[in-house]
Amino acid sequence: MINELERRFGTSFYLKYQSSLPNTIKWYTTPAGEVFGIDTASVDDQDISLLDIILEETEIQPVQLNEREQQWLNYLTHANENEPQFDKDYFRFIHFSTSHEIENTSELNDIFLHSFSDHQIIIIWKSNQEGLIVEFFNDLPIETDDFEELSAALTSDFFINVHFFVGAKLSKVTTARQQYGWEEKCFAVMKNLSTSQHVTYFHQATPYLLLEHVPLEALQKISSQLIKEVNLDKELIKTIQVYFKNNLNTTLAAKELFMHRNTLQYRIDKFIEKTGIDIKHFDQAVSVYIALIIYQTL
pLDDT of res. 11: 86
On average, the pLDDT of the chain sits at 89
Q: Which domain holds residue 223?
A: 214-297
Three-class secondary structure of residue 102 per DSSP: coil
98 plus 195 within the same structural domain: yes
DSSP lists the bridge partners of residue 36 as 28
**Judgement on whether residues 86 and 184 belong to the same structural domain of the protein:** yes
- pLDDT-based confidence at residue 78 (cuts at 50, 70, 90): confident
Q: What is the pLDDT of residues 207-240, one digit of tens each?
A: 888 888 889 899 889 888 899 889 889 999 999 9
Q: Are residues 120 and 43 in the same domain?
A: no
In which band, very low, low, confident or very high, does the pLDDT at 20 lie, cut at 50, 70 and 90? low
Picking from 188, 207, 226, the residue at the C-terminal end of a domain is 207
Determine how β-strand 199-201 pairs with β-strand 162-166. parallel
DSSP codes joined into one string, 105-153: HHHHHHHHHHHTTTSEEEEEESSSSEEEEEEEESS----HHHHHHHHHH
Statement to judge: residues 119 and 42 lie in one domain = no
Percent of the chain topping pLDDT 90: 52
Give yes or no: residues 191 and 289 share one domain: no
Mean pLDDT of 71-93: 89
Q: Which of 41, 58, 75 marks a domain boundary?
A: 58
More confident residue, 36 or 90: 90
DSSP state of 282: H
Total domain count for the chain? 3
